[in-house]
Amino acid sequence: MAKRTGVSRRVAGAPTDGDGNSVANKILLSLTPKECSQVLPRLEFVRLKLHHVLHEAGETIKSGYFVNAGLMSILAVQPDGKMVEVGLIGREGFVGLPLLVGYNNNGPTRVMTQADGSAYRCDAETLMQLIQQFPEMGKRLHRFAYQLAMQSTQIAACNRLHDVVSRLARWILMSQDRILSDSLPLTHEFLGQMLGTRRSSVTVAAGALQKAGLISHTWGSVTILKRKQLEKSACDCYGIVQQQLRDWEAETNGNVRKRTKNGSSVG
């Protein structure tokens, strides 16, 4: 059975591990039922609390995490301690990508939870064994690495080119896509760090979105009121990232259908 830390919320109709925890990570869900039954017992189910640091900048990566719920933030940390967010990971992804190519040092980035969640954890040796045994898992992990790189490139452009209001709208939308909740546990100080701007600028931007009736915000919480209108207030970066992900997913699904039609194994 997959080891368990804490209590998991059971999702009706979702696959479960041996302990009854719902499996929501998309990389794990891409495996066949037989493969999943072989993989899950080698992973450890863990609960992750808000602001828990999974990987610290410059330190050795001991474990990888298949994110099952919640929101993980990748932060570029500068020598003076300042940081800015360069990536977001939810249940679509995996934390610990350097392990895929044999790197154990995390580099100048910190990975931290932005909302309570859960993950399936494995050490580096187990990960490499699983990739060798289940090639489709390796392909999915490498695809996600490329998706995250694309997202990080767009965020870098966004932080340089767009105003705080549109960047804040983009960030809230990206976070909701991963948390799957209208309410996000966020403070203005923390949002300032994520967006690479002053807390006062975030307060003004959040006030503008609230005045427009798109969100409500209090200390430590932001609630989305009008999603469609918020999308219109976001910069083009949100739509660019979403469209590219859809295009790649359609291409992946199309290739799978072709292989299936030709009688080849899916891989």
pLDDT above 50: residue 122: yes
pLDDT > 70: what percent of the chain? 90
176 located within any domain: yes
128 located within any domain: no
42 located within any domain: no
Q: What is the mean pLDDT of residues 228-253?
A: 94
Q: Please state, rounded to an integer, the average pLDDT across all residues of the chain.
A: 88
pLDDT at 150: 97
192 located within any domain: yes
213 located within any domain: yes
Chain length of the chain: 267
104 located within any domain: no
Residue range 31-52, pLDDT digits in tens = 999 999 999 999 999 999 999 9
118 located within any domain: no
Q: What is the mean pLDDT of residues 88-93?
A: 96
pLDDT at 5: 41
Residue type, 214: L
> Could you tell me the CATH number of the domain that includes residue 213?
1.10.10.10
Provide the number of structural domains found in the chain: 1
pTM assigned to the model: 0.87
Residue range 162-198, pLDDT digits in tens = 999 999 999 999 999 999 899 988 777 777 777 778 8
Q: What is the mean pLDDT of residues 99-107?
A: 92
State the residue range of the domain holding 222. Answer: 161-236
- Confidence class of residue 261 from pLDDT cuts 50, 70 and 90? low
151 located within any domain: no
In DSSP notation, the chain reads --EE-S-PPPPTT--B-TTSPBP--HHHHTS-HHHHHHHGGGSEEEEE-TT-EEE-TTSB--EEEEEEEEEEEEEEEPTTS-EEEEEEE-TT-EE-GGGGGT--B--SEEEEEEEEEEEEEEEHHHHHHHHHH-HHHHHHHHHHHHHHHHHHHHHHHHHHHS-HHHHHHHHHHHHHHHH-SSEE---HHHHHHHHTS-HHHHHHHHHHHHHTTSEEEETTEEEES-HHHHHHHS-HHHHHHHHHHHHHHHHHHHHHHHHHHTTPPP-
